Amino acid sequence: MGAFTNSRALASARHIADPQPTNARTEPVWIRATLIAITFAFLGVFILWPLLTVFHEGFSKGFGFYVETFKDPITIKSIELTLLTAAIAVPLNTVFGLAAAWALTRFKFRGRQLLIALIDLPLWVSPVIGGLIYILLFGRHGTIGPWLMDHNIQIVFALPGIVLATTFVTFPFVARSLIPLMEAQGHAEEEAALTLGANGWQVFFRITLPKVKWGLLYGIILCNARAMGEFGAVSVVSGHIRGKTNTMPLHIEILYNEYQFAAAFAVASLLSLLALITLFLKTYSESRTAQQLREAQELTIVSK
Amino acid sequence: MYPLLKKFSRLAFASVLAALSISTVSAKEITLLNVSYDPTRELYGEYNKAFAKYWKAKTGDTVTIEQSHGGSGKQARAVIDGLPADVVTLALAYDIDAIAVHELVPKDWQQKLPDQSTPYTSTIVLLVRKGNPKGIKDWDDLVKPGVAVITPNPKTSGGARWNYLAAWAYANKKFGGNEEKNKEFIKALFKNVPVLDTGARGATTTFVQHGLGDVFISWENEAFLAQKEFPGKFEIVTPSLSILAEPPVAVVEKNASKKGVTDVANEYLKYLYSAEGQDIAGKNFYRPRDQKVAAKYTNFKKLDLITINDPLFGGWQKAQKKHFADKALFDQLYVPSNN
Amino acid sequence: MGVQIRKITKTFNKFVALKNVNLDVQPGELLALLGPSGSGKTTLLRIVAGLEFADPGHGQILFHGEDVTYHSAYKRRAGFVFQHYALFQHMNIFENVAFGLRVRPRALRPTEDEIRDRVFTLLKRVQLDHLAKRFPSQLSGGQRQRIALARALAIEPRVLLLDEPFGALDAKVRKELRRWLRQFHEETHLTTLFVTHDQDEAFELADRVAILSEGNIQQIGCPKEIVQHPTNTFVHDFLGLDI
């Protein structure tokens, strides 16, 4: 039991348990090469090429025109709205995701599994439904609608509705990223911190949070990317009021419908740029999270 | 002498103040929300500027008009669900009637403005590619095999319903009132449709930008707009018979009165009937009601026109029930094509 | 400063882990809780620490007469050493040991210099001051446990609680640390309660041993006494004594 206290011993133990050398492969080289080539071709055609087309079309009327597109006040308003929506939805979901992950991994209670499944709900339903939910709740004929009308509160077809719909569809990302990580890390360190005199907040900020920081970042990045790019749910609750309730994705559709193709792709290229940055950040934080997860699991194997 | 001067200057000062406050009070900032259907973006873009200028000159108030565009039915639905429209300018009376059911618009809304509250009209024409390679001349050519027809979905698009009814009217005339033959005609036509977009503008993009289809059944104004945006690429074929499309307008009185803008909203719609309003409509390829203004626009061809209230259709309620309701004729006749 | 455990009962769902347990740990003594798996010894230790709580209304924990039954762990100042170290992976060794001092309320918090002194004194005591900048993942098992001990001692605990502290270590390291702990106890006489399933360890280290089985204390006494006079068959069989 005491033999596996360092990773070298662990590795050698694994080797003993599984004698098949892990470097040699049984497939011939040409199969490997073909598979790799197919993967690159797939990526190239379905991801790289459309992305390049977006930028190409966006610049098709010249760099000056590209810049002019972003000076249009309605376009600027749509960018502002997208940023504002993300700025509200992402922190909300971060706080919620942290709280949910913490409660679900630190307490055992009935219905825990059901709650974990429910958190995933926004990922299963069509985004359109995500928007319709709010119409059914807050629309003129909705559950709380009449009360809102009487008190002159506008939720759907205005900013609050857009934020709600966006929050709904991006709900699970932070929680899903944190739950397996916190589950694997266990709460021994948190208990140790308690015995050393740290109160709840100190445990959270000094122990819990730093341990999950890469997983948290990963979740936030995904949440943000989706929040900025969401179309379906927002389209249902937006009302499409020009210069007021059109986010970037909606605005791109409008530009496209007005035959302003170069402008539409110019704005789309901004979203694509965001996607690329997100991809880069995501890859980096993902590898760090995986590393933390591995370390936590190794520690668990060690303790068994 | 001095006490009199003092009194006078005090009076003068007070009246200047009063005058200033009156003018600041009356120089109001008003916002109206116009919820419209898809193809009117350019029309209202221009009209709103003109109206704002007119209103400022007339009353000194600054009026800003916010626009929302989308499929006519979808927009009506949104207004019913709480989109705070002050006026609606939609594709068919049926959609405004739906709003009236929820008492946002008075039941007699259509009589509030001249010409059944339709300040401009349009019709349905056929848009083909330059040179008309498939030789489209009339509705008959749309049911021939090998002709790809683009039209939006009548279940979701107001424009598409006008399309369908125009085709039906033509068939009815051709087959002398034989309803079975009409049904076959519609069936054959929709069999030639490769893609059913949800809205008029979407269908336009499909035909114009994506290059799909040989002929596009289009609002007349959309067809002209496509020609303007893409000169030399398209031709308009005016069919022998078409339907008079009457896209109506109304003030959403429940919302407007809550905001206290009913008067401005009424004037906003009334101004559409003015010389300037009619002129802007004509410039944006809508047929003005005012015959004097219409005479200026020679691009509108004369053609045989049937209206929705013709006994063949009997008004929107009947037409909706017979053709577009769930499991009604369109649902029965439409089989998604395998093209 | 002794620990008084009175009438502790603990139930998990339907399973009764501890049944009306009574135990007095004398001030300055090193008492071992010995028993097979499932006997409830770790549960009892965690209840003393404040990481678990007895069933409501079923028992008391007193630290030298002060009722701490409803005190949270962070209020009890009971140093705890975990079987798997529970060192803070994202902090270096220095910060691990300093942690308990850093989280003290502002009024009681030592200055940065004082913290430095305290930490290095402790590190020297466990002979690991040269590793202050390293991270836990870079240490061996034995080293990690020594740091865990230093960390627990940093807060000047009223009582020291160890949960099978050497269970995860090599036989050789285990022996060394046992010796170290005994010596440390001789020097400081810090009231210590530790859990083990290894009877050699219990008998070698402890002043007194409490043998547990199925949530009950079977016998308490100094090692010699237990060996010579086992009270029942369980104790007899568990310790493998001759008749």
Q: Please report which confidence band the pLDDT of residue B24 belongs to, taking 50, 70 and 90 as the band edges.
A: very low
> What is the SS3 assignment for A290?
helix
CA B61 to CA B27: how far, in whole Å? 5
B135 in the same domain as B160: yes
CB contact under 8 A, A1 and C167: yes
Q: What is the Rg, in whole angstroms, of the alpha carbon atoms belonging to chain B? A: 24
The values of phi and psi at residue A203, to 5°, are -60, -45
B68 and B151 both lie in a single domain: no
- Which region among A98-102, A295-299, B102-106, B213-217 has the lowest average model confidence (pLDDT)? A295-299
Q: Where are the alpha helices (DSSP H) in chain A?
A: 7-17, 29-43, 49-58, 63-69, 73-106, 112-119, 121-124, 127-138, 145-150, 159-170, 172-185, 188-195, 200-202, 209-211, 213-229, 232-238, 248-257, 261-303
Does A12 score more than 80 pLDDT? no
Higher pLDDT residue, B201 or A23? Answer: B201
Query: Residue C115: CA atoms inside 13 Å, Cβ hemisphere, count?
Result: 17
Please give the average per-residue pLDDT across B125-131, as a whole number: 93
In this complex, which of B66, B68, B81 lies closest to A140 when CB atoms are compared? B81
Angle of helix A172-185 versus helix A112-119 axis, rounded to 10? 140
A-B interface: how many C-beta pairs under 8 angstroms?
58
A22 pLDDT more than 70: no
If asked whether residues B231 and B318 sit together in one domain, one would say: yes
DSSP A42-73: HHIIIIIHHHHHHHHHHTTT-HHHHHHHTTSH
Q: Is the dihedral of CA B64, B262, B38, B198 positive or negative?
A: positive
- Substitution target in B81, B103, B224 with the highest count of A β-carbons within 10 Å is B81
Choose the closest CB to C168 out of A5, A192, A199. Answer: A5
Does residue B58 share a domain with residue B166?
no
Antiparallel, parallel or unpaired: β C216-221 and C208-213: antiparallel
Report d(CA C77, CA A195) in Å as an integer.
7
CB within 8 Å: C100 and A197: yes
pLDDT at A238 over 90: yes
Kindly report the nearest CA distance between residue B82 and chain A, in angstroms. Answer: 5
Q: How confident is the model at residue B298 (pLDDT cuts 50, 70, 90)?
A: confident
Residue B146 to residue B273: CA distance in whole angstroms: 44
What structural domains does chain A harbor? 20-58 (no CATH), 62-303 (1.10.3720.10)
Beta bridge partners of B150: B216
CB-nearest to A188 from C82, C168, C174 is: C82
CB contacts of A195 in chain C (<8 Å) are: 49-51, 73-74, 76, 78-80, 152
Q: What is d(CA C45, CA C61) in angstroms, rounded to the nearest whole number?
A: 11
| Probe site for chain C from A8, A181, A195 (most C CB atoms < 10 A) | A195
Number of domains in chain B: 2
Considering the domain architecture, whether residues B187 and B326 belong to the same structural domain is answered as yes
CA A110 to chain centre: 28
Q: Write out chain C residues lying below 8 Å of A212, CB-based.
A: none
Beta-carbon separation of A139 and B81 below 8 A:
yes
Residue type, B170: Y
User: Where residue B158 falls among pLDDT bands split at 50, 70, 90?
Assistant: confident
Same domain flag for B222 and B178: yes
CA nearest to A244 within chain B: B66
A216 compared with C38, residue with greater pLDDT = A216
The predicted model gives B281-309 an average pLDDT of 90
Q: Which residues of chain C are modeled with pLDDT < 50?
A: none
Phi, psi angle pair for B240, to nearest 5°: -70, -30
Residue B102 has pLDDT above 80, yes or no: yes
Find the closest chain C residue to A300 by CA distance. Answer: C84
Q: Are C214 and C40 in contact (CB under 8 A)?
A: yes
Measure in Å the smallest separation between the Cα of A197 and chain C Cα atoms: 4
Strands annotated E in chain B:
29-37, 62-70, 87-89, 120-129, 149-150, 215-219, 234-237, 241-245, 249-251, 287-288, 304-306
The three-class DSSP label of residue C10 is strand
Three-state DSSP string of B50-114: HHHHHHHHHHCCEEEEEEEEECHHHHHHHHHCCCCCCEEECCCHHHHHHHHHCCCCCCCHHHCCH
**Neighbour-count burial of B209, counting CB atoms closer than 10 A to its CB (0-12 exposed, 13-18 middle, 19+ buried):** middle
For residue B22, being part of any structural domain is answered with no
Same domain, B181 and B76: no
How far away is chain B from the Cα of A155, in angstroms, using its nearest Cα?
9
Q: Could you tell me the pLDDT band of residue A23, with boundaries at 50, 70 and 90? A: low
Q: Please give the span between the terminal C-alpha atoms of chain B, in angstroms, as a whole number.
A: 99
Asked, for residue B318, whether it belongs to a domain, the answer is yes
ipTM > 0.85 for the complex: yes
Residues of B in contact with A135 (CB under 8 A): 81-82
pLDDT (average), residues B100-129:
93
Q: What is the mean pLDDT of residues B225-246?
A: 90
B70-87: string of b/e by CB count within 10 Å (b at 16+)?
Answer: bbbbbbbbbbbbbbbbbb
Length of chain A: 304
Shortest distance between the Cα of A19 and any Cα of chain C, in A, equals 26
Is B304 a member of any domain?
A: no
Q: Is residue B74 part of a domain?
A: yes
**How many residues are listed for chain C in this entry?**
243
pLDDT of residue B6: 60
Judged by CB atoms within 8 Å, which residues 42-81 of B form the interface with A? 42, 66-70, 78, 80-81
Spell out which residues of chain A touch residue B69, defining contact as CB-CB under 8 Å: 240, 242, 254
CA distances (Å), B182 to each of A103, A170, B162, B185, B314, in order?
A: 65, 50, 16, 5, 17
Q: Is the pLDDT of residue B322 over 60?
A: yes
DSSP annotation string for A170-199: HTHHHHHHHHHHHHHH-SHHHHHHHHTT--
Q: Is the dihedral of CA B156, B160, B166, B169 positive or negative?
A: negative
Residue B300's nearest CA partner among B40, B166, B90, B123 is B123
What value does the mean pLDDT take over residues B152-168? 88
Q: Which residues, other chains included, contact C100 with Cβ-Cβ below 8 Å and sequence gap of 6+? A: A196, A197, A198, C151, C152, C154, C155
Chain C residues touching A110 at Cβ < 8 A: none
Q: How confident is the model at residue B249 (pLDDT cuts 50, 70, 90)?
A: very high
B16: in domain: no
Question: Same domain, yes or no, for B194 and B320?
Answer: yes
Do B211 and B99 fall into the same domain? no
Q: How confident is the model at residue B17 (pLDDT cuts 50, 70, 90)?
A: low
Inter-chain touch A303–C168, beta carbons under 8 Å: yes
Provide the token pair at B280. Answer: 């802007």
Q: Does the residue B327 lie in any domain? A: yes
pLDDT of A24 above 70? no
Q: Is residue B84 part of a domain?
A: yes
pLDDT at A151 over 90: no
Q: How many CB pairs under 8 A join A and C?
A: 91
Rg for chain C (alpha carbons), in Å?
A: 18
Mention every residue, 6+ apart, whose C-beta is less than 8 A from residue C51: A191, A194, A195, C73, C80
Check CB contact of B202 with chain A, cutoff 8 Å.
Answer: yes
- C21-53 pLDDT, tens per residue? 999 999 999 999 999 888 889 999 999 999 999
Name the residue of chain A whose CA is nearest to C50's CA.
Answer: A195
CB pair distance less than 8 Å for A192 and C103: no
Pairing label, strands B234-237, B120-129: antiparallel
Which band of pLDDT confidence, cut at 50, 70 and 90, is reported for residue B53? Answer: very high
Confidence of residue A2 (pLDDT cuts 50, 70, 90): very low
Of B66, B67, B84, the CB nearest to A154: B84
pLDDT in tens, A239-257: 999 989 999 999 999 888 7
pLDDT tens digits along A26-79: 678 888 899 999 998 998 888 888 888 888 988 888 888 888 889 999 999 999
Q: What pLDDT sits at residue A3?
A: 41
Closest approach of chain A CAs to the CA of B17, in angstroms?
34
Whether residue B9 has pLDDT greater than 90: no
Instruction: Clarify whether residues B88 and B208 are in a common domain.
Output: no
Q: What is the pLDDT of residue A304?
A: 42
B68/A241 Cβ within 8 A: yes
User: Residue B315: inside a domain, yes or no?
Assistant: yes
- A25 pLDDT band, cuts 50/70/90, is low
Query: Residue B2: is its pLDDT beyond 50?
Result: yes
Same domain, B67 and B128: no
**Token code pair at residue A136:** 């059914």
CATH at B195:
3.40.190.10
**Is B32 a residue whose pLDDT tops 90?**
yes
Interacting residues of A153 by C-beta distance below 8 A, sequence separation 6+: none
Of B76 and B22, the one with more pLDDT: B76
Cα A244 to its chain centre, rounded Å, is: 26
HSE toward the beta carbon, residue C217, CA cutoff 13 A = 19
pLDDT at A169 over 90: yes
For residues A159 and B303, which has the higher predicted lDDT (pLDDT)? A159
pLDDT at B226 over 60: yes
Residue from the list B42, B66, B202 with its beta carbon closest to the beta carbon of A242: B66
Contact C41, C32 (CB under 8 A): no
- Residue A158: strand, helix, or coil: coil
- pLDDT tens for each residue of C151-188: 999 999 999 999 999 988 888 989 988 999 999 999 98
Check if the beta carbon of residue B278 is closer than 8 Å to that of residue B58.
no
Q: Residue B57 pLDDT > 50, yes or no?
A: yes
pLDDT at A299: 63
Question: Phi/psi at A50 (nearest 5 deg)?
Answer: -55, -40
- The answer to whether residue A19 scores a pLDDT higher than 70 is no
C-alpha separations of C135 from A57, A208, C12, C96, C155 in Å: 52, 17, 37, 9, 21
Whether B250 and B103 map to the same domain: the answer is yes
* Average confidence score pLDDT of chain B: 88
Domain region containing B133: 124-243+309-333
A197 CB within 8 Å of a chain C CB: yes
pLDDT at site A15: 46
